[in-house]
Amino acid sequence: MPYVDQMVAKILILNGPNLNLLGLREPEIYGRETLDDIRAMLEGEARALKLAIDFRQTNSEGELVDWIQGARQGVAGLILNAGAYTHTSIAVLDALKALKLPIIEVHLSNVYRRESFRHVSYVSQAATGVIAGLGSNGYLLALQALARLIDRT
């Protein structure tokens, strides 16, 4: 069960297309951990940081945009691994630009060591910071960074 407490800051963690296949899809690139493994790790870290998390995954661009738009209320920060939409979705970028909160873009692999089309990120244009190439630890570092960013505001 996700860690949620109304008295603490809530972090929204959104995952885009194909991330539901983590552990199965190209484990030599993305690792053997599943999305549920990452969620469990983050729930433990959120408790330690006294944060609440809302962790979601979708293969639908429209649903991802709806979730981002919904983050305008009740959310202190956003961690986003938009998957392939990182490189293709102006709709995701436009939704992110409407947010007035810290956004950390996360990629499991180092996108700059991969195909050239992965070097372009629309998400980065709205992100406070980017973490790539550190596997699931990137999510952990993003959560820790948001805790610090929120504490400063």
Residue 104 tokens, joined: 């950390």
Residue numbers annotated as active site: 30, 107
31 lies in some domain? yes
Alpha-carbon span 85 to 98, nearest angstrom: 17
Range of the domain at 131: 10-152
Confidence label for 106 from pLDDT (cuts 50, 70 and 90): very high
Residue 2 lies in a domain: no
Given a cut of 50, whether residue 91 has pLDDT beyond it is yes
pTM, whole model, 2 decimals? 0.90
What is the domain count for the chain?
Answer: 1
**Quick check: is 117 in a domain?**
yes
Burial-class residue 133 by CB neighbours within 10 Å (0-12, 13-18, 19+).
middle
Looking at residue 151, its pLDDT comes to 83
Say how far apart CA 79 and CA 46 lie, in whole Å: 13
Tens-place pLDDT, residues 21-73: 988 887 777 778 999 999 999 999 999 999 999 999 999 999 999 999 999 99
* Domain CATH for 100: 3.40.50.9100
